Chain A
Amino acid sequence: MGKSYGDGKSGSSRLGIILRILLKSVSIHFIMKKQLLLLAAAAPCVVSADPADYVNFVRQIQQDSGVEWDMSVAPNGMRISPTGVSVAGSFFELWAIHNRSVSEYRLDEQYVTAYTPNATITIVTGDPYLAIPRTRVDQPFQVQISVAGLLDENHPSYATAPDAAKWVDYTNYTFAYPDEAYSFEDVRNPVGTVVTEGYMEETANTSITFSATNLTGPDLTQVKGEEVFTITAQADFGVSATILDSEKVQIWPIATGTISGVDSSRYYEQVPPVSVSLVNLYPDSTTYMRIYPGPRKERPDGTKTINSSFVIMEDSIPQSRDLTVKSMDRYFTEEGIHTVELLHRTPFGTDLLDVVEINVDRTIEVNGGVIDQE
């Protein structure tokens, strides 16, 4: 089972879509269909809509004949497949089409067959977000791979068996999102970078642990995009190479934040409002400021949280925010240096985005002299 959620493509007309669903059995070879989608992706599309605006269908593609069976389906459910699995196996694809923007999304696919191996990929990250695997550029993630159905070298028919029964290919690609984009919806033929190519010759479970993303960029902390992992069966008996499973993980940048409006070299009788600028806040995060007396420490005592500084994100993409924090005076109850920290809490831990020291001096100085005259 593989998820292809980022695979939104602008597609053919609504009439064409409905025809395809109702009339079924439009003959397009799987590879050719991918080309069609890439062509169709040239047009701009609009995401988001009421769920009622989507048409969903399961497409069963017979690998030997290329015949397709489309079955209109509800957003969720269970059914028996439209037709029997062909000799060379069948591909099952889950599609959703936004019938106002005609954006097409191939959401997931699975290959069912009589003889080729099977594979499942699961990506585990530190973020509990349910919709899709996602993580931050500096965080570890694990790709768990299970391959079944490969012939052992000692099997009597190994020498005469087709290549598809002997090994599967593994690939890892990275795709960087364009500037200001958070998906590839408006991108024609996104270009990926090969991270690793490999192969697996035995039925086994294994995992690949990455300490951080493989995406690259001028500033590694600010890259954003996807890593895609794919297990492919070899071409055989006139059937092209078949994707057994493909999964992706979204990679988001590290948040940055600055506190401005105060000068650490000055003494303040009254602390002025401070401006806070937050960029690329992680989609599941809480950002806030805290104050403690004294210079910056690793483990400070007497911290006070500024309750008007909280920025709480429950979102699907990183966000930026600006805020002004006023009336901070009540947090400065002592004279001298205070440290103000800007903290960003995510599923991965709490990070310090910025820190400033503010010197408070409320001593009233009287300039003058006392003259004692008899």
Chain B
Amino acid sequence: MKINASQLALLGLLALGSSLPGQTSESIPGGSGHKDPYIPVGAISVTPTVVQPGVRPRMVWNIDYPMAVVDLSDVDPNGTITATQEIDLKIRVMGVALQSGHTLLPAALWVRVGASAPWELAFYGRENDVNPDVVVYEKKNVQPGTQIDFSARGQSGSGSWFDTHSTAGSDLSVIGMIDGDSVPDYAPAYEQGRIESFMTQFLDEENHVVLGPHDIIHTFELGSSNPGDWWFDMQDIVCTTTLSQTRPDNGGGNLLSSSDLSTQTSSSSETVDDNGKIIRGRKER
């Protein structure tokens, strides 16, 4: 089949001029809808690059598609994450807001990677112990199909523990949300503006969650299992989980530091490169 360029261009424009069956918007309601990378990226290497006519060289290629949480995993309404690709994950605790009167109470967060795996303690501490700059839990090479659950509980002033709330269960005291999700309507604190400082950055004016494309936020209510309680604010402990596709460890590429600039050699005004190999202007034929 042979089509010349103008015919194909015309076909393309006609095709684009009409609505296409199956064309859908990928944007997430309330979210920015973009992914990481922003658009597909890829590379092809064909070797050898200098060959005799007729030779069939070897092609090696790789494509990275825009990815969001939904492309890397399934997140059920309770917040259980199930990997759909091989992924790495890291967890940060963003805030703890558990207190009795003026006494700050501690909370603990556990993570379980695998439905039958043991629970691992990721964090224990009070509001003042939180450091979002620190990744409290990290796991690489999580295989597709692996279920990742979160569990948390608070400790009373007397040292006894409150009930445990887990994504593996079905209670309303824990929820996992991604970019664009609405906050739970059964937690009136959000509607009433009783938002903890560390949560304000994650909410837009319409109480939709604002997150990066690979982030999931889990919020827990540790003092109650009853959404009717006035203190049921779903902000007692909040953590974010960042997923990424597992990549082979190839040592990464070169990085440029400001000190590298000191290696710059002076070029004459006729050249543009550091070694004087590229001559400015166009060469006459």
Q: How far is the CA of A42 from the CA of B198 in the complex (A)?
A: 43
Contact B46–A92 (Cβ < 8 Å)? yes
Q: Which residues of A contact B131 (CB under 8 A)?
A: 305, 307
A321 within 8 A of B: yes
The one of B51, B242, B274 in contact with A314, judged by C-beta atoms closer than 8 angstroms, is B242
| Given known A-B contacts A33-B5, A84-B55, A142-B260, A76 and B247 have beta carbons under 8 A apart | no
Contact of A108 with B68 in the complex, beta carbons under 8 Å: no
Most buried by A among B45, B54, B197, B264: B197
A11: min CB distance to chain B, Å: 6
Question: Of residues 83 to 134 in B, which have CB atoms within 8 Å of A's CB atoms?
Answer: 92, 94-95, 127-128, 130-133
Residues of chain B contacted by A25 (CB below 8 angstroms): 1-2
Chain B window 1-28, contacts with chain A (Cβ cutoff 8 Å), 1 for yes, 0 for no: 1111100110111011100101111110
CA separation between A128 and B253, bound complex, in Å? 7
| Separation of A194 and B81 alpha carbons in the complex (Å) | 48
B261's nearest neighbour on chain A, judged by CB, is A140
Report the minimum CB–CB distance from B58 to chain A (whole Å): 6
Point out the residues of chain A lying under 8 angstroms from B276, CB to CB.
206
Cβ of A266: which chain B residues have Cβ within 8 Å of it?
A: none
Fill in one digit per residue for A71-85: 1 if any B CB lies within 8 Å of its CB, else 0.
Answer: 001011111111111
A46 to B23, alpha carbons, bound, how many Å?
9
Closest approach, in angstroms, between the C-beta of A180 and any C-beta of chain B? 11
Q: Is A105 an interface residue (CB 8 A)?
A: yes
A200-B56 in contact (CB<8A): no
Checking B2, B58, B63, B277 against A96 with a beta-carbon cut-off of 8 angstroms, the contacting residue is B63
- CB-CB under 8 A from A204, the residues of chain B are 275, 277
Tell me whether A47 and B66 are in contact (CB under 8 A): yes
* CA A6 to CA B66, docked complex, whole Å: 12
Q: Is the CB of A36 within 8 A of B256?
A: no
B258 within 8 Å of A (CB atoms): yes
If A140-B260, A208-B273, A324-B200 touch, does A49 touch B133 (CB 8 Å cutoff)? no
A269 interfacial by beta-carbon distance below 8 Å: no
Residue of B nearest to A167 (CB): B283
**A130 B261 Cβ-Cβ under 8 A:** no
| A196 vs B35: C-alpha distance when bound (angstroms) | 33
Minimum CB–CB distance from B262 to chain A (whole Å) comes to: 10
A42 touches B61 (CB 8 A): no
Of chain B, the residue at the smallest CB distance from A201 is B279
Set B12, B61, B62, B277: member contacting A39, Cβ < 8 A? B12
Question: Provided the pairs A48-B68, A77-B61 are in contact, do residues A197 and B281 lie with their beta carbons within 8 angstroms?
Answer: yes
> In whole angstroms, how far apart are the Cα atoms of A96 and B61 in the complex?
12
Beta-carbon contact of A202 and B62 below 8 Å = no
A112 touches B49 (CB 8 A): yes
Query: Is B77 located at the chain interface by the 8 A CB criterion?
Result: no
Instruction: Determine if A268 is an interface residue (Cβ-Cβ < 8 Å).
Output: no
Kindly state the separation between the CA atoms of A198 and B247 in the bound complex, as whole angstroms: 38
* Contact of A198 (CB < 8 Å), options: B25, B55, B130, B278: B278
- A161: shortest Cβ distance to chain B, in Å? 13
A5 touches B42 (CB 8 A): yes
Taking a contact as CB atoms under 8 Å apart, the answer to whether B40 and A105 are in contact is: yes
Give the residue of A130, A163, A196, A315 whose beta carbon is less than 8 angstroms from that of B272. Answer: A196
CA distance A86 to B220 in the complex (A): 64
Known: A94-B63, A182-B38, A206-B277. 9 other contacts (CB 8 A): A1-B45, A23-B1, A26-B1, A39-B9, A84-B55, A96-B42, A132-B41, A163-B285, A206-B274
| 4 A-B pairs with least C-beta separation | A107-B42, A12-B12, A13-B15, A32-B5
Q: List 7 A-B contacts (CB under 8 A).
A: A5-B39, A26-B8, A39-B9, A85-B54, A98-B40, A124-B254, A126-B256
The interface of chain A, by Cβ under 8 A from chain B, is: 1, 3, 5-6, 8, 10-14, 16, 19, 23, 25-29, 32-33, 35-36, 39-40, 42-43, 46-51, 54, 56, 58, 73, 75-87, 92-94, 96, 98, 100-102, 105, 107-115, 118, 124-128, 130-132, 140-142, 145, 149, 163, 167, 169-170, 182-183, 185, 196-202, 204-209, 211, 234, 273, 286, 288, 305, 307-317, 319, 321-327, 330, 347
